[in-house]
């Protein structure tokens, strides 16, 4: 465990590594963390605990940003190692991820809760042995008429359609803003500000 006198927040964007997955629906967490990193001047240029990471400071709080490279279904392995290394309890971990049950571009923040069927979140809960981290959920919608689990897998691993791109770009920007609000004003204020806003 790394010792530090500064309080630390661990901010995780979920996705799959590799160019073939970069623009897929499942990788919107990666895209948000990259947007937030640019906004805060943090470079995701360090390999640590099976993740690409970067760190910086915001108002006396150390921020550790990470994109796990374990593939989505094993995200918890990296998150747990990072949490242990930096001594971060679950309540100081923020996870950004896609959500099938929200309409495209909708953002919802939540403290704790279940998995919602998301295998990356399932892995994190299992490895931390706790659901008590903050989630920033970004809606990707569902396929119109899914006939099987295979359809869902194909859907989340598909790219956004060109006509969806403006909505997705705005959602990424707003999710990055929501992270700033979370850090500056706390979860309740961030939820009040962003959970009631409909998708653009």
Decide: 82 and 72 in contact? Cβ < 8 Å: no
Q: Residue 172: what pLDDT?
A: 98
**Buried/exposed 134-147: b ≥16 CB within 10 Å, e otherwise:** bbbbbbbbbeeeee
For the chain, which residues score pLDDT lower than 70? 1-4, 145-150, 197-200
pTM of the model: 0.93
- Number of Cβ within a 10 Å radius of residue 122: 17
Q: Residue 145: what pLDDT?
A: 67
| Residues assigned a catalytic role | 26
Domain count, the chain: 1
- Strand order of the β-sheet with 61-68 is 46-48, 51-58, 61-68, 8-13, 93-99, 134-139, 107-111
Domain assignment present for residue 200? The answer is: no
Domain assignment present for residue 121? The answer is: yes
Q: Residue 200: what pLDDT?
A: 47
DSSP track, 57-83:
EETTEEEEEEEE-S-GGGHHHHHHHHH
DSSP state of 153: H
- How far CA 44 is from CA of 38, 53, 97, 159, in Å, comes to 9, 5, 18, 23
154-171-15 Cα angle (round to 5) = 40
Tell me the CATH number at 128.
3.40.50.1470
Q: Domain containing 110: what range?
A: 8-194
Q: Residue 151: what pLDDT?
A: 86
pLDDT tens for 30-55 read 999 999 999 999 999 999 999 999 99
Q: Residue 143: what pLDDT?
A: 85
Distance CA 125, CA 83 (A): 12
Domain assignment present for residue 2? The answer is: no
> Is 96 strand, coil or helix?
strand
Domain assignment present for residue 178? The answer is: yes
CA-based radius of gyration for the chain: 16
Domain assignment present for residue 147? The answer is: yes
Domain assignment present for residue 3? The answer is: no
Domain assignment present for residue 143? The answer is: yes
Domain assignment present for residue 23? The answer is: yes
> Is 90 strand, coil or helix?
helix
């Amino acid at each position: 465990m790394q010792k530090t006198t500064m309080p630390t927040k661990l901010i995780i964007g979920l996705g799959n590594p590799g160019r073939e997955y970069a623009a897929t629906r499942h990788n919107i967490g990666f895209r948000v963390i990259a947007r937030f990193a640019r906004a805060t001047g943090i470079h995701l240029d360090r390999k640590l605990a099976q993740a690409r990471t970067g760190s910086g400071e915001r108002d006396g709080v150390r921020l550790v940003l990470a994109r796990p490279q374990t593939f989505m279904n094993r995200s918890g392995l990296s998150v747990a190692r990072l949490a242990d290394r930096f001594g971060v309890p679950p309540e100081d971990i923020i996870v950004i991820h896609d959500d099938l049950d929200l309409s495209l571009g909708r953002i919802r923040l939540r403290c704790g809760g279940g998995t919602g069927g998301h295998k990356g979140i399932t892995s994190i809960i299992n490895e931390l042995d706790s659901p008590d981290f903050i989630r920033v959920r970004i809606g990707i919608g569902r396929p119109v008429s899914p006939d099987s689990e295979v359809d869902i897998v194909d859907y989340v691993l598909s790219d956004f359609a060109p006509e969806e791109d403006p909505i997705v770009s705005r959602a990424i920007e707003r999710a990055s803003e929501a992270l700033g609000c979370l850090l500056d004003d706390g979860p309740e204020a961030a939820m009040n500000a962003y959970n009631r806003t409909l998708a653009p």
